[in-house]
Structure 1
């Protein structure tokens, strides 16, 4: 969902809550708030010219979605308890959620981030003033709707830990993941595409009890299509309600599901709904 890049950016939309401010100060080394704002605005301008996404326009890339999730602390505990924990950040954009997990203790070399374009990850190094050497986490670019990159049909049966340095697709991770974070992803697709993606993501999880996929995205009290005005353009978005969303995951595997709606205020001042959800594996391998 991209738009023309000739839309003027609105610096007044910039805001960092206290947790995000502290995180960006620590990660970038820029402690003065005005200097940090100038740095983030400069990166936003550079990125928006190449990829005109709403989340870039409204500074969604500065939010810490992963650490606000109610399952976050239990996910971090999985990282401490497992011998070879593996976390996937699906639709990572600049990698702020992966970096937050690392800052809070998840092993840096046991995280894989993915998005449609490598450019996002590279610009994440610009945003956080890092390098592949100083932040040696793994990234792989690809289209999560492409079966060659992510399919519900598992073709890899090895139980040995995967070589993350040589990944060519997410299919190499079938049955290997301890946790998967997926926020602001599913609502970008049609109802059928979302259902297919649920099955494909479920196939990536380890069958061990406690493996979890969690995230948040736009939802509705009753599933259906909503129409929004974004940058003066009309966009149709299909959204599930908690009950129908849970059913998708329960059909994809032996999951304990949780999903709740939270009322939110959109950047244009309207009231909307965010669904916060998780699906936890309930059987052992």
Structure 2
């Protein structure tokens, strides 16, 4: 996630926190119990709510208010099996979780068998990563995945380059020594970017896509994948917000426009396989007319 000036505004200020959104399923409870070491469900809830409260003060993202960080979204994406296969079959396959927030997704991938030594995480706000250590009762020593704080729109942090058409001649950098993402250009096998693109307008979504594409290895099977807000037709999600104030609306791609963006605008047409579909979601935190439907765009972009 990012707080770039390109990001959408949170409408109507900062809504109050509401514990009724805490509703993990059995798989999510099991994951958080195993990762935190807290097996008592009341104690676990109290612990998570404390972290949520502190994180909401850092930046009041709706996904924090809704406990979306508990939803194990990465493991429920269709491309998750591709990620794990890369980790097992490609030597030194680097995995970047960008917009990582607390780091719950990279932790889930590691718990599923992705080699920790090949993982790296990044977010604009370093306090979220620190809160992740508190959430999971770890330290940088007990969970040594490198974290790099920075703005993906800053060329000094991530230099925009065209997608690589051949493997870089230089070897991949040592992850623990990185201070920016630029040395990783052309070296990353998999990038996870969820709840990230929908924070930006159309122009900046394209800019971010191009920057991430420059990080991706040209080897067949390398992929970028994730999920974020979407619509059946490309455009602003006007079902919420103040009438006439389009600057507060979320810009959403459709599956068709998202495929066109990656296959033709970002990458040369025919060099990637794009899969994108809409999944209907419940958003009771958004005030909208009865019967209004909201969707997530679930997607992957794979080098061929």
Structure 2 residue aligned with 1:238: 251
Distance in 2 between residues matched to 1:134 and 1:5, nearest whole Å: 38
> CA shift at 1:50, angstroms?
2.4
Distance in 1 between residues matched to 2:142 and 2:9, nearest whole Å: 31
1:258 to 235, 254, 275: 275
> CA shift at 1:227, angstroms?
3.0
| Deviation per residue, 1:200-251 (Å, 9 max, x gap) | 1111110000001111111111100113547xx9831111111111111112
Note if contact 2:197-2:228 (Cα within 8 Å) is conserved in structure 1. Answer: yes
Structure 2 residue aligned with 1:148: 156
SS for the counterpart of 1:178 is strand
2:76 to 58, 68, 73: 68
Moved more, 246-255 or 25-34: 246-255
Moved more, 213-222 or 250-259: 250-259
Q: Equivalences for 1:56-205 in 2 at 5 Å?
A: 56-153=64-161, 157-205=168-216
| Deviation per residue, 1:224-281 (Å, 9 max, x gap) | 0113547xx9831111111111111112221111101111111337520111111100
Structure 1 residue aligned with 2:289: none
Structure 2 residue aligned with 1:268: 285
Is 1:31 the counterpart of 2:39? The answer is: yes
> CA shift at 1:155, angstroms?
12
Greater RCO (Cα-Cα under 8 Å, separation 6 or more): 2
> CA shift at 1:71, angstroms?
1.2
Note if contact 1:91-1:185 (Cα within 8 Å) is conserved in structure 2. Answer: yes
Note if contact 2:163-2:186 (Cα within 8 Å) is conserved in structure 1. Answer: no
In structure 2, do the counterparts of structure 1 residues 158 and 119 end up closer, same or farther at CA, with 3 Å as the change threshold? farther
Moved more, 34-43 or 49-58: 49-58
> CA shift at 1:168, angstroms?
2.1
Is 1:227 the counterpart of 2:238? The answer is: yes
1:12 to 17, 20, 26: 20
Distance in 1 between residues matched to 2:118 and 2:47, nearest whole Å: 29
Distance in 2 between residues matched to 1:248 and 1:149, nearest whole Å: 23
Distance in 2 between residues matched to 1:152 and 1:195, nearest whole Å: 12
CA RMSD of aligned residues (A): 2.2
| Deviation per residue, 1:97-149 (Å, 9 max, x gap) | 00001101111121111111111101100000111111000110111122222
Distance in 2 between residues matched to 1:238 and 1:211, nearest whole Å: 27
TM-score (structure 1 length as normaliser):
0.92
Structure 2 residue aligned with 1:40: 48
Q: Provide the aligned length of Structure 1 versus Structure 2.
A: 281
Distance in 2 between residues matched to 1:50 and 1:91, nearest whole Å: 15
Give ranges in structure 1 of 5+ residues lacking alignment: none
SS for the counterpart of 2:263 is helix
